[in-house]
Structure 1
Amino acid sequence: MILRHVTVDSSEPYELARFWSEVTGWPLGEGDEPGDDEVLVDAPAPVPGLLFIRVPEAKTVKNRLHIDWQPDERTRDEEVDRLTALGAKLFEDHRTPDGLGWVTMQDLEGNEFCVERSTLERGV
């Protein structure tokens, strides 16, 4: 079995997909445009794409599933600053004085995701 997409319910799929396209650097699906009910952020193989689908109800509680991101070109803190500039919000700060920990953020529609320390920060 192959994981093809991670699907996210959304009130505005195109706008949310555009945000995640900027976050990841991955392109929007071919032909996707404003007003579409389904919009894909097309990840490089073998990574699953992010598919945003319009739903009528708003998000009301914490996600049952979220994505953990590990920066590869920036430190965790630089990435948090970049994502904040793109419109993400800091939700919970789990950084510790010794430099460990992670940051839980929310995208434009309040979906939680985490930013962990980068590979360089982990010494890997």
Structure 2
Amino acid sequence: MVSSINQVTFDSRDGYALSLFWAKVTGYVEDPDDPNAPEHTECFIGPDGGHPGLLFINIPEGKTVKNRLHLDISPDTTRDEEVERLLGLGATIFEDHRKPDGTGWVTMHDPEGNEFCVERSKAERGQA
């Protein structure tokens, strides 16, 4: 027997706002049968509104330490183009691990400070 991942859950101060940010990052959408609203304490987005997806739950505490788990994303465009797009959406660069030969990644923070990494695209890794 095995278990499958149903969703990855983020504790957040404003789950609705964070779900909007991550929807723009991933292209995920809310469940059409249970749409998100600003007053909801839980907001879900997923591929075509389904699972596995991302769940954002409102909690009263703010983030205080580094996440023990984070997402690594691989863009459809280049890594550098995606970093610029994400900066425009409200992410910030935390650590830049890009190397002159084009390898490496960028560790970013989402608007609530959760870490995530932007890796090279499949095409950049020669896996197209």
**TM class by shorter-chain length?**
over 0.9
Q: Which amino acid aligns with 1:97?
A: P
Distance 1:36 1:46 in 2: 18
Deviation string for 1:35-56 (max 9, x for gaps)?
2100001224986200000111
Deviation string for 1:27-79 (max 9, x for gaps)?
1233210121000012249862000001111100100000000112x000000
2:57 aligned with 1:92: no
TM-score after normalising by structure 1: 0.94
Q: Which amino acid aligns with 2:65?
A: V
Q: Is the 8 A contact 2:12 2:58 kept in 1?
A: yes
Structure 2 residue corresponding to 1:68, chosen from 72, 86, 95: 72
Q: Quote the sequence identity (%).
A: 57
SS of 2:124's equivalent in the other structure is: helix
64 and 33 in structure 1: CA distance in 2 versus 1, 3 angstrom threshold: same
Unaligned runs of 5+ in 1: none
Distance 2:25 2:50 in 1: 18
Which residue of the partner structure matches residue 123 of structure 1?
A: 126
Q: Which 4+ residue blocks in structure 1 deviate beyond 6 angstroms? A: none
> Shift of residue 108 of structure 1?
0.6
Q: Which amino acid aligns with 2:12?
A: S
RMSD over aligned Cα atoms: 1.4
Q: Is the 8 A contact 1:7 1:50 kept in 2?
A: yes
